[in-house]
Every structure is written in C-alpha cells, then in structure tokens.
C-alpha cells in the first residue's frame, strides 16, 4: 500500500515539474520584455532635390529656321562670238579675277572688216542714187513745163489745120500729121508727169534701202567691236571655252564671268513659313540670315532675304538671299551653305535651353518649393550668345516664373525641390 502511494506521488511530480519550469521561463521572458527600453518608430523624411533655376522673362524675339541653300550667279556675263572667225588671243584662264575693261578674248579683225567695207560701199551707192534722183526730179519738173507748152502749140496747130481744111486751103494729110503730133506730145506730157509723181515713191524705196544698209553697217561695226571681248565689270572668270588659233562660229560662247556683288543664295523655305515670310516682305521688313564660315575663324557672313520664288514646290518655296556686304571672296557659285534665317519678331516669347524641355511639350517651374509642370508650344529656335535657345509660349507662364534648368529623371508635378542658389544662402 505504502509502495503504491509513493509510485503515484512520483508520477504527479514528474508531470507538474516541466509545467512549472515552462511557467517560470515565461515569467522571466515577460519581465525581460517589460524592462526593455521603449524605441520610437522612425518616420521617413521626404527627399529634397536641389536644382538650378532661372527667371523667365517674356520679350519680342525672332525665331530662326535653318535653310539649306546653294550659291548662284544669276547675272553671268557670257561673251559670244559675233560671227565666224579665228581666235587671235586669249588673255584669261578659269578662276582669274579681272577688272572692268580688261581684254578677255580677241578675234582676228580681218574676219569682220570685209563685211564692214561692203556695207559702207552699199551705203555710198544708195547715197549717190538719192542725189541722182533729186537731180532727175528737178530736170523732169522743168521738162514738164516745156512739154506742156509744146502740147498747147500742138493743139493750136491741129485747130488751125482743121480750119484750113474746112476752107479747102489745106489737105487731109496735113491735118492728120498735126493730129499725130498732138497725140505724141500728149504721150510725152503723160510720161513726164508720171516721172514727177513717182519720184516720192522711188525716193522712199531708196531711203528704206539706205536704212537697211545703215543697219548692216552698224551690225558690221558692232561685230568688229565685239571681236574684242572685254570685261563689263569687276568679276571672276568661271569658264573659258576657246583657245588661240581656234575657229568659232557666230554665237559660240567664248568666256563666262560673274560679279561677286551679284551672287545669290537659293534655299528651300518650308511651306509652313511661306505665308508668314511673304507678308513680312510685303510690309518691307528686313529679314536677316547668317552663315558661319568655319574656314575663316567662324566669321559670320550676313545675308538678307530679298524675294521669294514665283512658284512653290512640294516641299516649300525657294527664297533668294543677297549679301549685305560685298566681301564674298569665300563664297563661289555652286557652294552649299546652311543659313540661319530670322523670322518676323513675335511678342510674348520666352527663352529656354533645350535641356529644360521634356518631350518637347512641357517644362517645370519651381513654385512653393515644388515642381510644377506646364505645357508649352515651341515657336522656334534662336542663336543667342553662341548658344542654341528654344523660344516658347505657354498660357500658364507668368513673367518672373522660376524655370527649372536641372534635368531630373523622376521629374513630376509635386516633387519637392530647392534651388541651388537658395541652398547656398542658407
């Protein structure tokens, strides 16, 4: 019995003891947790991005467009042979610079003096015919008076012969002879009158022939004069097509030259600017353009849009530019150039660098310490102080707004930012 009670007591202790250990452990762990110092949970701080800004200022600005152009010499001088002949001397070569009056090509003058001599002889012959015609006219006028007097006498003779015939004092043969004499005299008078009356028409024919011969003479003189081709102005020889000893025909182009002062640049202007530029030219506005010559220390050459072509092309319309100064030694016909043309000035435009644009449709402003996105319209570009600047317009832009220049990859409206200048002041 006693052994049975001891066995039961040992079993109860074996069961309760682990539970007691567990309870004591829990109490110790809880006391340790209660004695742990309290920590405040950290609150994440919003990051502030530092950006560079500039004040926006609206003004009257001229957008620029790039025009690809080619240099042309529309008013070339082309010395053509005045007739068939032989080349006696050629004084120039392609690329030579000449001054007005310089002899370029000389043809053999003997090929042109023959025609001149012939024209002079024909004209002298007509002059002699005119003098002879005047003398004959005066003689015919005097002879006509005499012939008419003789006609009156013949008429009286016929009258007298007829009276004597009626009185049987004259024969029929005498009457007939006097009548024949009268008829012959009338014929002579008619011929004299015709000679006098036709003088004016014959003289007009001679005068017309004289004018033709004078024209031939002048043509021969011009041909002789043009057999020596001279430079009409200061310029550059662009082509020489003949050589000494060669034979040329009438109209053969011997030498070609151009003046640097008359050079133009023809460039295709996009169709969307055609109407704007045409109206500006009609108003008398001066539309300037520049081309930078890199080979000459980037010295700009200034041009001016002087006119637009009369017909448009599918891509736009050709514009013609003239230099504003005569120093065009660096430009030759055929050169390809890029012009920067200033369009008519517009009010209310803002200048922004290309890096400040996002998707070419918006910019960000600094307002109340945060980014503020604004949609804009790009009106054009401009070169200001050697830098490419975009000219924009936007309904929400206000004079004095702070434009964010620093490009942020995560830019969005509401992002907290701070200007670098303000941070430096702090």
Half-sphere exposure of residue 359, counting CA atoms within 13 Å on the CB side? 10
Instruction: Give the pLDDT mean for 199-215.
Output: 85
310-361: pLDDT as tens digits? 898 888 999 999 887 655 656 788 888 889 899 999 999 999 999 899 988 9
Both structure tokens of 330: 């660096």
| pLDDT value at 181 more than 90 | no
Half-sphere exposure of residue 203, counting CA atoms within 13 Å on the CB side? 14
For the chain, what are the domain ranges? 51-62+346-425, 65-73+259-342, 77-108+227-258, 112-225
| pLDDT value at 424 more than 60 | no
Question: What pTM does this model have?
Answer: 0.65
Q: What pLDDT, on a 0 to 100 scale, did the predictor assign at position 309?
A: 93
> How buried is 199 (Cβ within 10 angstroms: 0-12 exposed, 13-18 middle, 19+ buried)?
middle
Instruction: Give the pLDDT mean for 14-39.
Output: 64
Q: What pLDDT, on a 0 to 100 scale, did the predictor assign at position 134?
A: 81
| pLDDT value at 292 more than 90 | no
50-87 burial: b if 16+ Cβ within 10 Å, else e: ebebbebebeebbbbbebebebbbeeebebebbbebeb
| pLDDT value at 133 more than 90 | no
361-370: pLDDT as tens digits? 999 999 988 9
pLDDT band at 39 (very low <50, low <70, confident <90, very high): low
More confident residue, 188 or 172: 188
49-74: pLDDT as tens digits? 889 999 999 999 999 999 999 999 98
Instruction: Give the pLDDT mean for 282-294.
Output: 83
| pLDDT value at 22 more than 90 | no
Half-sphere exposure of residue 174, counting CA atoms within 13 Å on the CB side? 13
| pLDDT value at 399 more than 60 | yes
Contact 231, 257 (CB under 8 A): yes
Closest CA to 73 of 264, 240, 237: 264
CATH topology of domain 65-73+259-342: Elongation Factor Tu (Ef-tu); domain 3 (2.40.30)
Q: Rounded mean pLDDT of the chain?
A: 83
Q: What pLDDT, on a 0 to 100 scale, did the predictor assign at position 196?
A: 78
Three-state SS for 261-324 is HHCEEEEEEEHHHHHHHHHHHHCCCCCEEEEEEHHHCCEEEEEEEEEEEEEEECCEEEEEEEEC
120-134 burial: b if 16+ Cβ within 10 Å, else e: eebbeebeebeeeee
Both structure tokens of 149: 């007097």
Q: How many CB atoms lie within 10 A of CB 253?
A: 13
Sequence-distant (6+) residues with CB within 8 A of 202 are 133
Instruction: Give the pLDDT mean for 369-394.
Output: 88
DSSP state of 220: H
Lowest-confidence segment of 63-67, 179-183, 258-262 by average pLDDT = 179-183
Q: What pLDDT, on a 0 to 100 scale, did the predictor assign at position 153?
A: 77
Lowest-confidence segment of 168-172, 208-212, 338-342 by average pLDDT = 168-172
What is the percentage of the chain residues whose pLDDT exceeds 90?
39
| pLDDT value at 393 more than 60 | yes
DSSP reduced 3-state for 19: helix
pLDDT band at 2 (very low <50, low <70, confident <90, very high): very low
* Domain 77-108+227-258 = CATH 2.40.50.100: yes
Q: What pLDDT, on a 0 to 100 scale, did the predictor assign at position 297?
A: 45
Which of left, alpha, beta for 239 (phi over 0: left; psi -120 to 50: alpha)? beta
Q: What pLDDT, on a 0 to 100 scale, did the predictor assign at position 249?
A: 94
* Domain 51-62+346-425 = CATH 3.30.1380: no
Q: What pLDDT, on a 0 to 100 scale, did the predictor assign at position 232?
A: 94
Q: What pLDDT, on a 0 to 100 scale, did the predictor assign at position 4?
A: 47
| pLDDT value at 194 more than 50 | yes
Instruction: Give the pLDDT mean for 253-264.
Output: 91
Contact 228, 106 (CB under 8 A): yes
């Amino acid at each position: 019995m006693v052994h049975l009670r001891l066995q039961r007591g040992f079993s109860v202790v074996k069961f309760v003891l682990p539970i007691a250990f567990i309870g004591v452990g829990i109490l110790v762990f809880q006391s340790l947790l209660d004695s742990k110092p309290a920590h405040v949970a950290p609150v994440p701080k919003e990051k502030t991005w530092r950006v560079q800004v500039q004040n926006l200022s609206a003004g009257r600005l001229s957008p620029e467009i790039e025009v690809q152009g080619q240099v042309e010499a529309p008013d070339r001088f082309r010395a053509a042979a005045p007739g068939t002949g032989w080349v006696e001397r050629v004084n120039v070569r392609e690329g030579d610079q000449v001054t007005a009056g310089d002899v370029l090509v000389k043809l053999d003058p003997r090929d042109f003096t023959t025609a001149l001599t012939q024209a002079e002889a024909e004209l002298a012959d007509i002059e002699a015919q005119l003098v002879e015609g005047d003398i004959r006219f005066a003689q015919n006028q005097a002879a006509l008076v005499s012939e008419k007097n003789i006609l009156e006498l013949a008429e009286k003779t016929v009258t007298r012969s007829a009276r004597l015939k009626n009185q049987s004092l004259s024969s029929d043969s005498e009457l007939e002879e006097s009548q024949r004499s009268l008829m012959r005299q009338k014929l002579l008078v008619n011929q004299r009158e015709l000679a006098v009356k036709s003088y004016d028409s014959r003289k007009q024919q001679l005068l017309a022939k004289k004018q033709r011969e004078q024209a031939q003479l002048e043509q021969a003189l011009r041909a002789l004069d043009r057999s020596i081709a001279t430079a009409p102005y200061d310029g550059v020889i662009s082509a020489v097509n003949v050589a000494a000893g060669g034979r040329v025909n009438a109209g053969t182009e011997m030498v070609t030259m151009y003046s640097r002062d008359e050079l133009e640049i023809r460039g295709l202007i996009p169709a969307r600017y055609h109407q704007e530029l045409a109206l500006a030219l009609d108003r008398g506005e001066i539309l300037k353009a520049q081309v930078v010559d890199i080979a000459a220390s980037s010295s700009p050459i200034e041009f001016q849009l002087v006119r637009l072509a009369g017909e448009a092309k599918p891509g736009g319309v050709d514009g013609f530019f003239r230099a504003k100064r005569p120093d065009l030694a660096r430009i030759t016909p055929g050169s390809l150039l890029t012009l920067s043309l200033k369009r008519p000035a517009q009010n209310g435009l803002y200048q922004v660098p290309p890096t400040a644009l996002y998707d070419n449709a918006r910019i960000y402003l600094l307002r109340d310490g945060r980014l503020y996105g604004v949609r804009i319209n790009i009106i054009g570009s401009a070169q200001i102080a050697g830098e490419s600047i975009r000219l924009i317009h936007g309904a929400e832009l206000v004079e004095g707004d702070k434009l964010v220049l620093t490009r942020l990859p995560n830019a969005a409206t509401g992002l907290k930012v701070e200007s670098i200048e303000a941070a430096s002041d702090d």
